[in-house]
Structure 1
C-alpha cells in the first residue's frame, strides 16, 4: 500500500449566470496521521500526506519528546486503510521519560495541545530566545511572505494549504514545507531543518497563517528568535513571545508589516512618527 498523493483531481460542475460546465478541480488531501512511539499512539493529526518523516521529527522536537533528532533511533512511515502511522523508536532515556509523562495523563486529548492534561502544562516554561536571532532589514521582512510564495506548489494547485518557511539574512527563504494544517507545516519545517543540520537561531520563520500561542511555543522550542506572519497574532501569543524573547512581525503583506515584540531585531529605517 502506498501513501496517497497530497493533491487529487475531483470533478465538479461550475455554475455561473447562464452557463453550467463540467470542470476538474485539484483539491488538497488530508488524512489522519498517528504519531506512534514504541508502539503507543501519542497523537493523531489531520495532515497532508507528504514530508511525514519531517513532520514526525518536528513534532517530536516541538513537543519536547526528544531534544535532538538523533534520539529517534528508528522512524518508519506506514500507510494503513484508515490512515498513516509514523512509527518511532526512541533512545532508552527518552522512551522512559515519555512513558512517565503518559502515566500522568488524565485521558484523551485533542489535536491542538497533544499530550497535555492540565491548564498549567499548557503554559509550560519556554526557552528564552532573547539572545538568539539575527538583525533583519525592514525590506527583508516586507518581502518575506512574497518570497515564500515560490515555495508553495501545493497551494498553487489546491488553494487550501498553509506554508512555513525559513528565511536567512541575505539569502531569502531557503527551505519551506506545506500542509493543510498550519501547525503541521511548521513542525514539518522544523523537522526538515533538524534533519539537515540547519540552526533555527540563524534566521526567521515565515508563516502564511495567524500567530497563535502554539506557533510561538514551536518557534521557541526550535530555537528561532524571529517569527514573521502574513496574518494577525493573538494577544496571548504576543504575551508569550514577549516573555520568551521572540520578535513577532505580523500583517507582513502588501509592502508593510507591524512589529509587536522585541523590535531591536528589525530596526526602523526611518524616524518613528506614529
Structure 2
C-alpha cells in the first residue's frame, strides 16, 4: 500500500512575517533484501513508484513482477524503502554491488566504473509519431498538472504524454531524475504501454534523463531547458528522439 509523508512544509522566513511553503527534501535510503544499496535526497511522495522506477533504471529489477514488496519506514534521520526482490534479482545485485549517495543534482547514480556504465545498456526503443502541435499541447497542460509545485515553485515534474500531447500522468520531486524515476515506476505499476507516448520534463536534458527514459522503453524525451553534449550523443546512439528548449511555439530537436 502506498504511504507518503508531507511533501510540503510551511515556515516563516527570517525577514518577513508572511509564511511560505517550501518543498520537503529528505534522505531516502533504499535497501534490497536487507542490504543497503542507495541513499537519495528526494521529496517524500509517491515512494513506491520511486522504489520501482529507481530499481528498473538501475537494473535491480528487470520488470515489475520481480519487485515483490516495498515497505516504507519513517525514521528520525529519514525514510527507508525496503525492497524485497526475487532471488534472481538478488544474485544480479551481488555481481554488481555498489554503494550510492545521491544528490538532487547530476550524477550517474553511483556507477563505479566506465565498464559498469557500459553494461547498463537499455533495450531498443520505439519512437512515437507525434501529432502536429503535440509538444505545445503537453507543455500548456503541464503547468496545471504540477499540483505540488504550484504551492512552492521548487519541484521538477516528469510527465507521460500521449502522442497527441495529452498529459496523462505526472510525478514531482526536488530532483529531476527522482521525478522521472517516480513516473517510470508509476507507469510500470499500471502496466502502461511505454511505446505509445513520450516523456516531458520541466528541466534541462541531461545524460541521466536520456538513459532513464531509454531504460524505461520510451523513445522520445522532451525537456523545457537546454541539453548537454552527452545527452545528445547518448540519445543519438540509442535511437531516442530528443527535444529541448521546448517553449510555447518552438522546440529544437537534437536527436
Same fold (TM over 0.5): yes
Q: Structure 2: which 5+ runs fail to align?
A: none
Aligned to 1:8: 9
Name the CA distance, whole Å, in 1 between partners of 2:27 and 2:147. Answer: 22
Q: Residues 166 and 198 (structure 1 numbering): CA distance in 2 closer, same or farther, change over 3 Å?
A: same
Query: Contact 1:11/1:24 (CA < 8 Å) preserved in 2?
Result: yes
User: Which of 149, 152, 158 is 1:155 aligned to?
Assistant: 149
- 2:96 counterpart SS class: helix
Q: How far is the alpha carbon of 1:184 from its aligned partner?
A: 0.3
Select the residue among 17, 35, 53 that pairs with 1:40: 35
Max Rg structure: 1
CA–CA separation in structure 1 for the residues paired with 2:68 and 2:165: 33
RMSD of equivalent CA atoms: 1.6
Partner in structure 2 of residue 18 of structure 1: none
Alpha-carbon spacing, 1:3–1:206, altered in 2? closer, same or farther (3 Å): closer
1:75 Cα deviation from its structure 2 partner: 1.1
Among 47, 71, 74, the alignment partner of 1:76 is: 71
- Structure 2 CA distance for aligned equivalents of residues 60 and 195 of structure 1: 13
Partner of 2:52: 57
1:109 and 1:117 in contact (8 A); partners too: no
Give, in whole Å, the separation in 2 of the partners of 1:9 and 1:206: 29
Which portions of structure 1, spanning 4 or more consecutive aligned residues, are displaced by more than 6 angstroms? Answer: none
| Separation of aligned partners in 2, 1:243 and 1:58 | 23
TM superposition shift of 1:24: 0.4
1:186 to 167, 180, 202: 180
SS of alignment partner, residue 12 of structure 2: strand
Q: How many residues align?
A: 248
TM-score calculated relative to the size of structure 2:
0.92
CA distance in 1, matches of 2:165, 2:134: 10
Query: Counterpart in 1 of 2:222?
Result: 228
Contact kept, 8 Å, 1:164 with 1:177, in 2: the verdict is yes
Q: Distance in 1 between matches of 2:237 and 2:166?
A: 27
d(CA) in 2 for partners of 1:241, 1:10: 41
Q: Is the 8 A contact 2:224 2:246 kept in 1?
A: yes
Q: Normalized against structure 1, the TM-score is what?
A: 0.86
Gaps of 5+ in 1: 15-20, 262-274
* Counterpart-to-counterpart distance in 2, 1:185 and 1:109: 18
3-state secondary structure, aligned to 1:200: coil
